[in-house]
Amino acid sequence: MHYIDKRYKKQLEEFEAIKEYTCKAVLENEPSISIIREWKENIRQTLIEVKNEFTDWIDTFTNKFVKSLNKIEQSRELVNFVGEDKRQELRLIDMQNKYHEILKIFFIIQ
């Protein structure tokens, strides 16, 4: 048994009331402790699912696009255009060379 000065009885009663109120608050709020963490986890999971679905859409579109290009390249209708890219590149280089020659002529005239 401890001796307690009667002057502190009121403060001790207030302390006990605060302690009980704190204990009640902790017990009532215990289920809510993990709400924010679970909310963040749900948002992250949703974002990951959206990202994965978006990536799948891009992959599917890319595959369909490549397949359609392969069909075009292998069609008989475009046989006459085989190598056209290279021919156009050579024409462009030839035009650039002629342009340089014309520039040289203008410099000589000046």
Q: What per-residue confidence (pLDDT) applies to 84?
A: 79
For the chain, domain boundaries: 11-74, 83-110
Tokens representing 53 are 């679905």
Q: Could you tell me the CA-to-CA distances from 73 to 51, 62, 70 in Å, in that order?
A: 33, 16, 5
If you average pLDDT over residues 57-79, what whole number do you get? Answer: 80
If you average pLDDT over residues 91-106, what whole number do you get? Answer: 92
Task: Give the pLDDT band of residue 2 (cuts 50, 70, 90).
Answer: low
Tokens representing 38 are 């679970």
If you average pLDDT over residues 1-27, what whole number do you get? Answer: 81
φ and ψ at residue 5, rounded to 5 degrees: -70, 135
Tokens representing 73 are 């390249």
5 φψ region: left (φ > 0), alpha (ψ -120 to 50), beta (else)? beta
Between CA 68 and CA 61 the distance in angstroms is 11
Task: Give the pLDDT band of residue 30 (cuts 50, 70, 90).
Answer: confident
